[in-house]
Amino acid sequence: MLAEVGGWMVLAGVAGCGYLAWKGAVRTHRSVVFARVAALISLALSAVCFYAWYAQYLRWEFNELGRYYDLIEQVVYTDSGFVWVLPAGLLLAVGVMFAWRGWRR
C-alpha cells in the first residue's frame, strides 16, 4: 500500500516538473528549441520501445496458452510482451506533437 502511494507521488512530482518546465520554456520564448529537443528524445525512446515490443512479442509464435519455448536458449517467452506497444505509441504521439510544434514555424 505504501509503495503504491509513493509511486503515485513520484508520478505527480514528475508531471508537475514537466508542466513547470514547459511553462518556463514558453515564458522565455525558447519553446521552439525545447519542442525540437523533446521531439527527438520522444521519437528515439519510441523507437527503443517499438524494438522491445518486436523482440518480446512480435518475433515469437505463441501457442494457445500464450507461451513460446525457445529450444536453443532454453527460455520460455510469454505473450505479456505486448505491453511495450503502450509506451511506444504514447511516446510516438508525444514526439509527433512536439515535432509539429517545433517545426511548424
Sorted by where each begins, the domain ranges of the chain are 30-103
pLDDT at 14 over 60: yes
Q: What is the mean pLDDT of residues 44-71?
A: 80
pLDDT at 1 over 60: no
Res 11: pLDDT? 72
Res 44: pLDDT? 92
pLDDT at 88 over 80: yes
pLDDT at 77 over 80: no
Res 16: pLDDT? 77
Contact criterion met (CB below 8 Å) for 42 and 100: no
Which helix (DSSP H) or strand (DSSP E) does residue 101 occupy? helix 85-103
- Choose among 78, 80, 82: nearest CA to 69: 78
Whole-number mean pLDDT of the chain?
78
